[in-house]
């Protein structure tokens, strides 16, 4: 999606030039933040209000519901529905939406790059996990995807064993020695504390099976190329600051290439 281009600002105390407003309206409709039936410009809606009643069918242009119980202020040049849609976008990354879109600013950048990312097969996002993913999702850099959500204790143990047996085997042997590795490998379940110590010792964060935030339906892992890890962390941290009622603020870049974040 191309970067949203505006010649001047849109929103509160901004020029709100008709061409810019029309561009913004089209973008908000495209990303699903504004219903097409609410896309009529403020000026045309006001004009329609003054048309005589001919007895024919009447069209209704009621404003879209406001997010999070907020009430929009009237902004000259913008419909109430458009103001509500701007607030809905800014709620993803602003604690207090300002209803201002400046050329080249954060809101314009996110709108321009807005894209729904995929969820990997068999990933479960029950309850508030899905709400958290929906907040973060469209803001993440291209190439991002949801790689993990809720994870059972059994799946957590399988992941731990795979880290030990495959992913970090060479690193563990290099650090702890072949004899120590072989001793732990004789019974991974009985020696789980040692296996955890070794995996963590080579830099891979992982919780004890049964105690992970994933088992509590409070964690999401985001995958993607390593080149976008830092941008993923930045975006998720910004969303967390804007939504402290949901996201805990814990964001970790892990050795296995995913970015892990948690909810409250």
Phi, psi for 47 (deg, rounded to 5): -65, -45
Q: What confidence score (pLDDT) does residue 3 get?
A: 60
Residue 119 has phi, psi (to 5 degrees) of -115, 125
Provide the pairing of β-strand 219-223 with 145-148.
antiparallel
Averaged confidence pLDDT in the chain: 88
Indicate whether 43 pLDDT > 90: no
The whole-number average pLDDT for the span 27-37 is 94
Mean pLDDT of 238-255: 98
Could you report the per-residue pLDDT of 56-89, keeping only the tens digit for each? 333 322 333 444 445 556 899 999 999 999 999 9
- In 115-258 the beta strands, taken as DSSP E runs, fall at 118-119, 145-148, 219-223, 247-253
Residue 162: pLDDT over 60: yes
Rg (CA), the chain: 24
For range 133-146, the mean pLDDT: 98
pLDDT (average), residues 23-40: 91
Q: Residue 2 — very low, low, confident or very high, per pLDDT cuts 50/70/90?
A: low
State whether residue 75 is helix, strand or coil: strand
Q: What is the pLDDT of residue 1?
A: 55
Lowest mean pLDDT: which of 18-22, 161-165, 237-241? 18-22
Angle at which helices 192-201 and 169-176 cross, to 10°: 90
Report pLDDT digits (tens) over 109-126.
Answer: 999 999 999 999 999 999
Looking at residue 38, its pLDDT comes to 81
Which H or E run includes 82? Answer: helix 80-90
Give start and end residues of each alpha helix (H) in 99-177.
106-113, 128-136, 153-162, 169-176
- Structure confidence at residue 5 as a pLDDT band (50, 70, 90): low
């Amino acid at each position: 999606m191309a970067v949203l281009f505006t010649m001047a600002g849109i929103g509160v105390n901004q020029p709100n030039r008709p061409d810019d407003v029309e561009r913004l309206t089209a973008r908000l409709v495209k990303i699903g933040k504004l219903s097409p039936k609410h896309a009529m410009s403020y000026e045309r809606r006001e004009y329609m209000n003054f048309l005589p009643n001919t007895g024919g069918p009447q069209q209704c242009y009621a404003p879209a519901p406001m997010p999070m119980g907020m009430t929009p202020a009237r902004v000259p040049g913008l419909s109430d529905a458009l103001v509500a849609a701007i607030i809905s976008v800014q709620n993803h990354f602003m604690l207090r939406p300002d209803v201002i879109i400046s050329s080249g600013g954060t809101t314009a950048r996110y709108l321009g790059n807005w894209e729904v990312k995929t969820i990997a097969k068999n990933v479960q996002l029950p309850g508030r996990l899905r709400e958290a993913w929906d907040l973060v999702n469209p803001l993440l850099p291209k190439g991002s995807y949801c790689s993990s959500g809720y994870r059972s204790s059994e799946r957590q143990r399988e992941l731990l064993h795979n880290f030990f047996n495959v992913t970090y085997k060479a690193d563990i042997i290099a650090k702890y020695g072949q004899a120590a590795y072989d001793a732990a490998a004789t019974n991974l379940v009985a020696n789980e504390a040692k296996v955890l110590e070794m995996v963590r010792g080579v830099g891979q964060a992982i919780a004890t099976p049964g105690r992970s935030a994933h088992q509590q339906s409070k964690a999401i892992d985001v995958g993607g190329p390593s080149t976008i890890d830092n941008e993923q962390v930045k975006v998720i941290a910004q969303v967390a600051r804007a939504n402290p009622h949901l996201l805990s603020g814990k964001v970790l870049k892990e050795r296995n290439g995913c970015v892990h974040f948690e909810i409250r």
